[in-house]
Amino acid sequence: MREMNMRSIDLNLLVVLDALLEERQVTGAAQRLEMSQPAVSRALQRLRELFSDPLLVRGDDGYDLSTRARHLQPLLKDMLYGVKQMVTPLSFDPARASGNLAFACLDLEATLYLSGIMETLRQQAPGMSLEIQSKPGDYFTSLARGEIHLALSGQEPDFSQDQFHRIEIDNTYSQCVMGADNPLAQGEMTLQRYLAATHGFVSISGRGPAIIDMHLKQMGYQRKVAARLASFFNVPDFCENTDLVFALPKRQVDWLCRNRRLVSRPLPKEIPQPLIHFFLYWHARYHQDPMHRWFRNLVIEQNRRSFPETVGPDLPFSEGLPQPQ
């Protein structure tokens, strides 16, 4: 049997064939397709050559379908429907949707930036589930592998940045937090008093010094660190009744100070305080996915209401904020 070379087939002919088999005449097919009769006649001739069959044959009441044409008609309908489905934009109906959304962020960031999301999800998409992965890790590798749909992070990828899109959810600066009885809770926060205090810091990755220690080293100073924690949630218990001082993003400090005997104070003015950015990240593979777009818009709009001055535009990573120096 001769093998058909698919590249030699003009798929537009199959649309004409569908109309011809439905109308069973050139005139009707031409009107349906908004083509000229000569153009449809030429297409019919090419189709007859392609299938080595007349396709339309004269009958008592005009034209009828050949045996080959009758065999082709249902197959053609299925094929054209399949092609239409392929090129039709995907749609998403939250009320009828099912599936799991995987989101990665730290515990406190989930509290600050995702509160209320589950309520909305249960109301609008009750068949969907939400998985929040709060264990610190390499979120960008997980995004690249398709293991998670979204990640919220103050960090930035160090590979293939063109794979990712991001939108700024919040920005803030560092603030000191300490127990209400700490001597630093009163008086001017001078660099000398700050350096003389005993400190703790949160290391999410468990590696390397805190950013403030790096700044102090450049200035020729070093502080005394007595506690290194892996979670922001532990900070109040470690400083409320001790002499420890922590420096954390102000948004986190404000939340941690609620209903606790804690005081927040600014850092000494001599210590650099670059703005801390928090981004919602996703991989390019999901950028146009309707379900993904719907869910990330929930997150973006919620945070736009909470922090209207900080939520930024939706941009590919390469077009986002400039890299910190």
Q: Do 140 and 282 belong to one domain?
A: yes
Residue 1 within any structural domain of the chain = no
Final residue before a domain boundary, out of 70, 87, 104: 87
Query: How many Cα atoms within 13 Å fall on the side-chain side of residue 185?
Result: 16
Counted residue by residue, the chain has a size of: 325
**Mind listing the pLDDT tens digit for each residue in 265-310?**
999 999 988 888 999 999 998 898 899 999 999 999 988 888 877 7
- If DSSP states are collapsed to H, E and C, what string results for 49-101? HHHCCCCEEEECCEEEECHHHHHHHHHHHHHHHHHHHHHCCCCCCHHHCCEEE
User: What span, in angstroms and rounded, lies between the C-alpha atoms of 75 and 197?
Assistant: 80
Residue 44 within any structural domain of the chain = yes
Q: Read off the CATH number of the domain in which 198 is found.
A: 3.40.190.10
- Stretch 210-226: mean pLDDT: 92
Q: Do 181 and 250 belong to one domain?
A: yes
Residue 228 within any structural domain of the chain = yes
**Phi-psi label, residue 117: left if phi above 0, alpha if psi -120 to 50, beta otherwise:** alpha
pLDDT at 31 over 80: yes
Q: Give the pLDDT of residue 308.
A: 78
Query: pTM here?
Result: 0.73
Q: Give the pLDDT of residue 269.
A: 93
- Count, in order, helices (H) and strands (E) of the chain: 12, 13
Mean pLDDT of the chain: 87
Residue indicated by tokens 């153009």: 39
Q: Do 25 and 105 belong to one domain?
A: no
Residue 14 within any structural domain of the chain = yes
pLDDT at 317 over 60: no
> Domain limits at 248?
174-265
Instruction: Locate all alpha helices (DSSP H) within 146-179, ordered by sequence.
Output: none
User: What span, in angstroms and rounded, lies between the C-alpha atoms of 185 and 176?
Assistant: 10
Q: Do 133 and 181 belong to one domain?
A: no
Q: Do 140 and 187 belong to one domain?
A: no
How far apart are the two ends of the chain, measured CA to CA in Å?
Answer: 67
Q: Give the pLDDT of residue 283.
A: 92
User: What span, in angstroms and rounded, lies between the C-alpha atoms of 213 and 324?
Assistant: 17
What separation in angstroms does the CA of 253 have from each of 175, 188, 232?
Answer: 7, 19, 9
Residue 71 within any structural domain of the chain = yes
